[in-house]
Amino acid sequence: MNGLSIAGKLIGSHEYEGNYAFEMAQHLNTSMIKPSHLSTDKHGKNSLNFALFDFVEMIFCPRIPKVHREALWGFGTAADYEGYIIKPTHFVDKKLIESEWDNMQRMAASIITGEANPSVVIRKLSSKEYSSRTKRAFVQYNNIVKSHFILQYIHDAEFRRAVTDALNRGEKYNSLYRAITLLNNGQLKGTRAI
């Protein structure tokens, strides 16, 4: 992970960043760079992003400051994990995911292709007011992908460091951008050669 900023979008202070992460990586990236990972801070997470990025074979990598507080999801029951040090505390409804798989793929396809405005669809699906069997299945699938990420995040110190380094590089870019736009009306003005 090199930590390059590939896209940007100005959103209102009332908007949640996590609803735009997928759209920025998938639709607003006009560079030749095709990232394999997307690193964000905790504001990049929502109930769908791990699953959406999994559908396009990208790894969603938010920095998780208190990883011990994150819930792990698994298949089966608690009895299946006896003897393990790290165990899931929640379990997915495998039959629900299987029965809704076609609908989940259609939903993901409309978001991935941009047939529907991705940030609008993601915002509506992430809303607590909206509920459906397909959304519940999608969220459970998201929790499985997220749990896999958390286990890798716990296990691999180099991976954790790479996620943090990429996020820090993005924050430095944001600081530089703010400094340029706030000073000199957004223009770089030099008075002498260095």
pLDDT digits (tens, 9 = 90+) for 44-64: 678 888 999 899 898 888 888
In tens, the pLDDT along 64-116 reads 888 889 999 999 999 999 999 999 999 999 999 999 999 999 989 988 888 87
Q: How far apart are CA 24 and CA 33, in angstroms?
A: 13
- Within a domain: 72: no
pLDDT band per the 50, 70, 90 thresholds, residue 184 = low
In tens, the pLDDT along 141-178 reads 999 999 999 999 999 999 888 888 877 766 666 666 66
With beta carbons less than 8 A apart as the criterion, state whether 19 and 119 touch. yes
Helix axes 157-182, 133-155, angle to 10 degrees: 110
Structural domain including 150 reads 17-64+92-186
Q: Which residue has the higher pLDDT, 25 or 182?
A: 25
Counting the structural domains of the chain, the total is: 1
- Within a domain: 100: yes
φ, ψ dihedrals at 179, nearest 5°:
-65, -40
Note the pLDDT of residue 61: 84
Please state whether the predicted TM-score (pTM) of the whole model is above 0.85.
no
Q: Which residue has the higher pLDDT, 23 or 105?
A: 105
- Within a domain: 58: yes
Note the pLDDT of residue 170: 63
Residue 177's identity, in one-letter code, is: Y
Note the pLDDT of residue 38: 75
Note the pLDDT of residue 189: 61
- Within a domain: 175: yes
Q: How far apart are CA 152 and CA 86, in angstroms?
A: 12
- Within a domain: 108: yes
Note the pLDDT of residue 29: 65
- Within a domain: 167: yes
- Within a domain: 5: no
Residue 176's identity, in one-letter code, is: L
Q: How far apart are CA 105 and CA 85, in angstroms?
A: 34
- Within a domain: 157: yes
